[in-house]
Amino acid sequence: MAAPRFAFRPGLSNWLGVAPFFLFVFFFLILPALYIVVGAFRAPDGSFTFANILGLNTTTIRNAYWVSIRVSFWSALIGCLIGFAMAAAVVFGALPKGIRAPLLTFSGVASNFAGVPLAFAFIATLGPAGLITLWLRSEFGINLRAWGFNLFSSQGLILTYLFFQVPLMILIIVPALDGLKREWREAAEMLGASGLQYWRMIALPILTPPLLGTFALLFANSFGAVATAFALAGPQLNIAPILLFSQIRGDVLGDPGLGYALAFGMIVITGLSNGIYLWLRARSERWQK
């Protein structure tokens, strides 16, 4: 006698497994975002106003956005270059196969390592009294501060962000590199193409959408980071997330309405970056299929 076969039919019960995910997204992503959008256009008396948005047009806020954009751009660009080189070495290089799994495991951990622990690690390593700073000074007479390096600056913040930007790039680009079919390279070699010509005319055009998409994702990832920047440099670093934090937390000079407007601007910038990433990723997946 054949065993009975059970099949799930389309219905409400099939959605119960993913219900916690949708509840989490609704209560912790959609509702807070809507609350911020409403707050950006609400006056203290509850009426509708554009004063909060117009209040963004000040020198301090414009500079904060510009510094945040610059830090995000360079951390994303450098992270993409280093991460791509490491991923290509693992996928196509002559490295031992046992290196790939530990690298991807470390990348999965490091891409989520941020906030106070990351800031403390860099302060203890490259701060004014950090381990490497004192070692370079005592052993080689190299004074990083005299060379213009300051960990508590935008350059130091870029360096710190690379700790999670590079691993995130590796995690995203490795599947794209795995998607490059061996037959494409063999066909190019049979037609007389060199390795450089293969990368310039075949591989890189195919990888351009995921590369640009990952750059947009890394940009958004850096632009929205606040815990690491605040723990590393505090209010002395004028970037948009720290300025937002100081406006909303209720200081004497705090302005919650202006804080909501700052957050609304950050939502627009990160939303555009993530939208570009999703669009380019979809194009890349269609091409590889």
- What is each CA distance from 21 to 12, 24, 25, 26, 274, in whole angstroms? 15, 5, 6, 9, 19
C-alpha count within 13 angstroms, C-beta hemisphere, residue 10 = 0
> Which residues, in sequence order, are bridge partners of residue 283?
none
Q: What is the pLDDT of residue 82?
A: 96
pTM for the complete prediction?
0.83
| Span 157-206, pLDDT tens digits | 999 999 999 999 999 999 888 888 888 888 888 888 887 888 888 888 88
Q: What is the pLDDT of residue 80?
A: 95
Per-residue exposure over 2-15, b if at least 16 CB sit within 10 Å of its own CB, e if not: eeeeeeeeeeeeee
Q: What is the pLDDT of residue 70?
A: 93
- How sure is the predictor about 219, in pLDDT bands with cuts at 50, 70 and 90? very high
Average pLDDT on 204-211 reads: 85
Indicate the class that CATH gives domain 67-239+277-288. Answer: mainly alpha
- Higher pLDDT among residues 129 and 168, named by residue: 168
Q: Is the pLDDT of residue 81 over 80?
A: yes
- 85 C-beta neighbours (distance < 10 Å), count: 14
| Span 4-59, pLDDT tens digits | 555 555 566 677 778 888 898 899 888 988 998 898 898 888 888 888 888 888 88
Hunting for tokens 């951990």 — which residue is that?
Answer: 109
How far is the C-alpha of 224 from the C-alpha of 164, rounded, in Å? 13
> Which residues, in sequence order, are bridge partners of residue 29?
none
| Span 247-271, pLDDT tens digits | 766 554 557 788 888 888 888 888 8
Q: What is the pLDDT of residue 252?
A: 46
